[in-house]
Amino acid sequence: MNFFGHLAVATWYSADAGHHLGAMLPDLATMLGAPAPKATRGSVAQGIELHHRTDAVFHACGHFRALNSDAFNQLEALGLPRGAARAVAHIGTEILLDGVLAEHAAMRQAFHTALDYGANHEGALDLEWRVPPSAGRLAQLCRVIAERDIQRDSQLPERVAYRLDRILGHRPRLRIPPEQLDLVAEWARSADAMVRQRADGLLTEVALGLGDSRSLGPDP
C-alpha cells in the first residue's frame, strides 16, 4: 500500500495528525533513502505500527493479488521487461488505489493536515533512525508532497507513468525503458476501472485483516 493508502487506513482509527503522519512515515523514509524509523511513544509510534500491520495484511489480500496478477500479465503482453512489468503491476496498482481513495475530501484534508504536522514538528517527533536523514529533510519532503495534487497524480495515466518512472528509474532491473512509458500510461488508463471495481472489496479485506469490521471510509 502506498503512503496515501496508509493515511486512509489510519483515518479509520484516529483523527490525530501525528498518528496519520506515523502511518505514512515508513514510505516517506524510503523516499528519503533511509530505513523506516521507530518512535518510542505516542500517536506517531502507533501510526508506524499500524503501517507495518497494514502492509502485511494488504499484500495478502485476494483482491490485491488478483489485481497484481492481472496487471503483470497485461504489462508483459504489452512488451515490458519482466522485472519492470512486475514492479509496475505492484506499485502501479497501489497508486491507482490512491486515486480512488483521494476522491474523499475528508481523506485529502487529513492528508494535508498530517503533512503540515510533519513539516512543522519534525524535531518533536522523537524518531529513532538507523540512518538518519539530514536535519530538516523530512519537513522539506512533507512540504513538497503537500504541494502536489494527489488526486491528479494518482488518476491521470500520464502522471501515474511519470511517478512509476521516478520510483523505479534508479533500479536497473526494474526501471521502465523510456520508449515504453506510453505503454505504462496505456495500462494505467485501462487498469483504473478494474481497481475501482475491486476497491471496496479490497478495503474490506484490509479492515477484516486488521480485526476491524467497521463501515469503511469517510463520506466524499
**Domain coordinates in residue numbering, the chain:** 3-204
Angle ∠(82,206,104) on CA atoms, nearest 5: 95
> How much is the pLDDT for 162?
97
Predicted confidence at residue 123, as pLDDT, reads 87
Q: Per residue in 142-166, pLDDT tens?
A: 999 999 999 999 999 999 999 999 9
End-to-end CA distance of the chain: 21
Radius of gyration (C-alpha) of the chain in whole angstroms:
17
| pLDDT digit string, tens, across residues 23-36 | 999 999 999 999 99
Residue 141, Cβ neighbours under 10 Å: how many? 19
- Is residue 210 pLDDT above 90, yes or no? yes
Residue 38 host element (H or E)? strand 38-39
Mean pLDDT (the chain, rounded): 94
Look at residue 219 and tell me whether its pLDDT is greater than 80.
no
Pair 23, 10: CB distance under 8 Å: yes
The packing angle between helices 181-209 and 42-58, to 10°, is 110
Nearest to 150 by CA among 191, 196, 176, 115: 115
Q: What is the pTM of this model?
A: 0.92
- Distances in Å between the alpha carbon of 63 and those of 14, 73, 137, 202? 25, 16, 36, 5
Decide if pLDDT at 43 tops 80.
Answer: yes
Mean pLDDT of the 183-209 span: 97
pLDDT in tens, 81-103: 999 999 999 999 999 999 999 99
